[in-house]
Structure 1
């Protein structure tokens, strides 16, 4: 059971940022395992159990990243990550194919939310086509998002909208090629106790209707095919 991160967790994250080399990591590996990786797994397990109970038919899985960077993608960086995260999602050969719940802990703070990292262009085309068929459903979700203060919508946008939005409220959904509904915070006290578990559960419960909306997009007709509308 997750009992909280510790000061050693934070010290390790800052330590690996400024000492990103094998000798330092090996000397502090036990701290990484016991104060960083293991608590992250325990937190991920609890939130996975919570979400699986809420959506038992979705075949959800839990993943916890490892600290080791892919040697093929170092790009001049050190061999270790300075943050860890867990995700809860449907299994897929391409992990970016489905909407994902996540939590990430970094030296400066933490974040959590739900969204797509790199959805297929077809997925976003299906989203726009679904909104065209029934704009009221997404308008309701967008208004609900605007009435709360925990999450914000972050997007990566095309230079030009892919098509005309049916209303000004829905315009952002027609410009984006990926998005996250995300909360970002500093290193708050709740991280060091079980309070963060309740915070994440409340947040994920709020996000479930959005997840339900997006997770079914793959089953929508291809808008490029005749008669798909």
Structure 2
């Protein structure tokens, strides 16, 4: 089922009230208006994820919890303002993995591909691939530049560290945590019945970016394994 205006409205009111009793009394609305559409989108994306990487886990359990981690509550806010899901391989060596993600909030929605926090060894490996014009790196950047829906983001350095590189490469090289994403506050997109198709189409377009990140991560893991033998 598509999202309705009740989804962002619920997230806003629940966050603003910050009242556990109110949430429990309105949990049915949360499940119907937020959880069901999120889980249905995961189900819709599952075949595509399997084609991109059959190790990606697509499960309804991938939807984030609305309650914040009690260990991180210092401001008295019990609930998250946004809800998201992240589709990735099972976590192994690195806490953070390359992922396809989607979120909604009272203000916007969005999706993309990247890391929550790319491990330093993986960052360096991705940069090496770009500098060496590895086929996976060129394919990923070509895929990004061939579309106009998602933008490149992710903590750029203040100083250009690669002044002699072409712009198409330095845009990636000069970021601590490169990620491609789309965000929107367009209600026609948010509440339209074509949202799942749009997200799937964008994920398919940027699959080479995911493949570059996975190649880098797998290479780092193989090197570490070799060192421990």
Q: How does 1:126-165 map to 2 (within 5 A)?
A: 126-134=125-133, 138-139=137-138, 141-160=140-159
The alignment status of 1:19 with 2:12, answered yes or no, reads: no
Offset of residue 39 of structure 1: 1.9
Q: CA RMSD in A?
A: 2.6
Q: Which moved more, 1:181-190 or 1:159-168?
A: 159-168
What does residue 51 of structure 1 align with?
49
TM-score normalised to the size of structure 2? 0.84
Contact 1:14-1:82 at 8 Å conserved across structures: yes
Deviation at 1:95, TM superposition (A): 6.8
Gap runs ≥5 in structure 2: 225-229
In structure 1, stretches of 5+ residues that fail to align are none
Cα pair 2:67 2:80 within 8 Å, conserved: yes
CA deviation vs aligned residue, 1:113-158 (integer Å, no higher than 9, x gap): 1011101101001111122222575345435423432010001134
Distance 1:160-1:17 versus aligned 2 partners, 3 A rule: same
More strand, by proportion: 1
| Stretch deviating more after TM superposition (143-152 or 10-19) | 143-152
Query: What secondary structure is seen at the aligned counterpart in 2 of 1:103?
Result: strand
CA contact (8 A) 2:162 2:170 kept: no
Q: Deviations over 1:56-81 (max 9, x none)?
A: 53343441111010011123051111
TM-score, with length taken from structure 1: 0.84
What is the deviation of 1:187? 4.2
What is the aligned length? 221
Counterpart CA distance in 1 for 2:94 and 2:148 is: 29
Partner of 1:167: 166
CA distance in 2, matches of 1:77, 1:101: 31
CA contact (8 A) 1:67 1:84 kept: yes
Shift of 1:178: 0.7
Match of 1:76 in 2: 75
Residues 151-204 of structure 1 show CA distances to partners (whole Å, capped at 9, x for unaligned) of 100011345566676433311222211122000101422433431111111111
Structure 1 pair 189/96, CA: closer, same or farther in 2 (3 Å)? Answer: farther
Distance 1:137 1:209 in 2: 7
